[in-house]
Amino acid sequence: MKKLYSLFATVLLLMAILTGCSSTDTSKESSSKQTTELTVSAAASLQDALVELQKTYEKEHTDVKLQFNFGGSGALQQQISQGAPVDLFFSAAEDKFDALVDSKVIAKENGVDLLSNELVLVVPKNNEKKINSFNNLNKASKIALGTPEAVPAGQYGLETLKAMKLWNKLESKVVYAKDVRQVLTYAETGNVDAGIVYKTDALTSDKTKIVATAKNDTHTPIIYPVGVIKESKHFKEAEAFYDFLQTDASMKVFEKYGFKGAK
């Protein structure tokens, strides 16, 4: 009887050991498949294209989750400079991006000028003020513009109005917005008579229409650089997404939304 009890105890011990090993292996396997969350700070004008690309990327990389922080490039640059936990920065202006390169937050070799855009004048669909060009913006009571210090589209718009010698006459009519999407919303809702936005944003709206395109020689070239933050805690995964954004397939998606290649 004692031998029987001893044998029974031995079997239980072996089962416990095997169960423990199995649990450990399962735990290790589960741990190895943990999802990596990448934070991408990107210009508001990139929202539609990046959300579409997100679906493709996450389907192909099930262990990666993309978290986007959309806004004005200047505001995003300030957040990153102040230590916000970001893995990639996709800017709508070279100077905002270059500021992070100069301060060693982004290594020059981990950044690239990827896209370009155009600046357009939009009006509400009904266009009650009959505005059809930059030159007759004097008809407007209110004009929406991104805050130039924080919103590249606003800076480009300011440059254009100054180059056309319109700024002094129109400055008092300007309503400032936090990003280019808010400018578009103001125009869509009729809160302003006109707004200056990127062509890519204008193409997403069926409540406004484009009445003019700014000439390239009236503003700084509209270039979108993207790069990996040097101190990213997920540098390898961030670099993989950075490479994905430069593929032909990704570029076709950007082009669908009105962007062009920077080169």
Could you tell me if 88 and 214 lie in one domain?
A: no
> How many other CB atoms are found less than 10 A from the CB of residue 153?
34
Could you tell me if 230 and 103 lie in one domain?
A: yes
Residue 8 lies in a domain: no
Mean pLDDT computed over every residue of the chain: 91
Residue 14 lies in a domain: no
Could you tell me if 44 and 93 lie in one domain?
A: yes
- In the structure encoding, which two tokens stand for residue 141, read together? 């009571």
Could you tell me if 140 and 187 lie in one domain?
A: yes
Could you tell me if 96 and 126 lie in one domain?
A: no
Range of 73's domain? 36-116+223-261
Q: Nearest to residue 121, comparing CAs of 98, 145, 99, 141?
A: 145
141 annotated as ligand-binding: no
Helices within the chain (DSSP H only): 2-32, 47-60, 73-81, 94-102, 152-163, 167-170, 180-188, 199-202, 235-245, 248-256
Could you tell me if 145 and 184 lie in one domain?
A: yes
Would you state the torsion angle of the CA atoms of residues 234, 260, 183, 131, taken in this order, to the nearest 10 degrees? 180
Number of residues assigned to the chain: 263
Could you tell me if 213 and 235 lie in one domain?
A: no
Which residues have C-beta within 8 Å of that of residue 131, sequence separation ≥ 6? 121, 123, 137, 139, 140, 193, 194, 211
d(CA 93, CA 169): 27
180 annotated as ligand-binding: yes
What average pLDDT score do residues 248-259 get?
Answer: 97
d(CA 1, CA 57): 64
Check if the beta carbon of residue 141 is closer than 8 Å to that of residue 172.
no
Residue 4 lies in a domain: no
At residue 88, φ and ψ (nearest 5 deg) are -135, 150
Residue 55 lies in a domain: yes
Residue 11 lies in a domain: no
**Is the pLDDT score of 78 beyond 50?**
yes
Q: Give 65's strand partners.
A: 37
d(CA 191, CA 193): 7
Q: Give 115's strand partners.
A: 224, 261
**Domain count for the chain:** 2
| CATH number for the domain harbouring residue 46 | 3.40.190.10
116 annotated as ligand-binding: no
**Could you tell me the pLDDT band of residue 6, with boundaries at 50, 70 and 90?**
low
Tens of pLDDT, residues 129-169: 999 999 999 999 999 999 999 999 999 999 999 999 999 99
6 annotated as ligand-binding: no
242 annotated as ligand-binding: no
d(CA 118, CA 201): 10
Could you tell me if 65 and 139 lie in one domain?
A: no
Residue 15 lies in a domain: no
Could you tell me if 92 and 48 lie in one domain?
A: yes
Model pLDDT, residue 33: 63
- Tell which wins on pLDDT, 31 or 243: 243
Could you tell me if 85 and 162 lie in one domain?
A: no
Q: In the chain, what percentage of residues exceed pLDDT 90?
A: 87
Could you tell me if 99 and 64 lie in one domain?
A: yes
Could you tell me if 124 and 83 lie in one domain?
A: no
Tens of pLDDT, residues 93-135: 999 999 999 999 999 999 999 999 999 999 999 999 999 999 9
Residue 47 lies in a domain: yes
Residue 28 lies in a domain: no
- In the structure encoding, which two tokens stand for residue 196, read together? 């200056």
Check if the beta carbon of residue 211 is closer than 8 Å to that of residue 133.
yes
